């Protein structure tokens, strides 16, 4: 939501629309539209990492500092890859990272205040999640067959682990 609105407001051309495509490295599809600011990937990465940073933050101060440093460095590396592949300028990913961090914090604060996700822990909804996980698993298998990218294997493994955990909880309760 934030990404689309801000991209329309700023309408900054991407590097491939401004520079000669032979003057820098472009990996993947050449993106040459006028939607460079902010980086949607950066918003997503920082929003997710912000939630994970607070959700799994250790109690001890030194461990908390190391954890926050690790998460932020991971986020920085991930968002700077968008610059490395020629899709964005550095400022695009910085702005996207800031918007993502604010989005993550907003989600945390809203979730704590309104408890909108409390229904997830009820056993009667587990079959719905199991069905959704299975559908997602089939979709990821289709991506693996068609595109054979490592990221899809990692997504499939994490989905299988999540599916195993939710089925174990459903059977146990």
- How far apart are alpha carbons 38 and 6 in whole angstroms? 7
C-alpha distances in angstroms, 109 versus 34, 102, 116, 142? 33, 10, 11, 37
- Other beta carbons less than 10 A from residue 92's beta carbon: 26
Residue 144 has pLDDT above 70, yes or no: yes
Q: Which residues of 130-158 are buried (b: 16+ CB within 10 A; e: fewer)?
A: eeebeeebeebeebbeeeeeeebeebbee
Q: What is the dihedral of CA 26, 27, 31, 37, to 10 degrees?
A: -90
Tens-place pLDDT, residues 66-101: 999 999 999 999 999 988 888 889 999 999 999 999
Asked whether the predicted pLDDT for residue 126 surpasses 70, the reply is yes
The two three-digit tokens of residue 97, written as one number:
């990272």
Each residue of 29-62: pLDDT tens digit?
777 777 888 999 999 999 999 999 999 999 999 9
Question: Is residue 121 predicted with pLDDT exceeding 90?
Answer: no
pTM of the model: 0.75
């Amino acid at each position: 939501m934030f990404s689309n609105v801000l991209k329309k407001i700023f309408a900054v051309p991407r590097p491939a629309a401004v520079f000669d495509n032979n003057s820098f490295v472009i990996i993947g599809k050449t993106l040459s539209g006028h939607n460079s600011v902010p980086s949607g990937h950066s918003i997503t990465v920082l929003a997710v990492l912000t939630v994970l940073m607070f959700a799994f933050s250790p109690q001890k101060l030194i461990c908390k500092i190391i954890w926050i440093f690790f998460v932020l460095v991971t986020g920085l590396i991930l968002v700077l890859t968008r610059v490395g592949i020629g899709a964005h300028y550095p400022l695009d990913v910085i702005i996207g990272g800031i918007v993502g961090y604010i989005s993550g914090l907003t989600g945390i604060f809203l979730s704590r205040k309104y408890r909108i996700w409390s229904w997830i822990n009820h056993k009667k909804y587990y079959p719905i999640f199991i069905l959704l996980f299975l559908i997602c698993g089939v979709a990821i298998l289709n991506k693996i067959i068609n595109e054979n990218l490592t990221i899809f294997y990692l997504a499939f493994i994490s989905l299988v682990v999540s599916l195993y955990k939710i089925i174990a909880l459903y059977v146990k309760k």
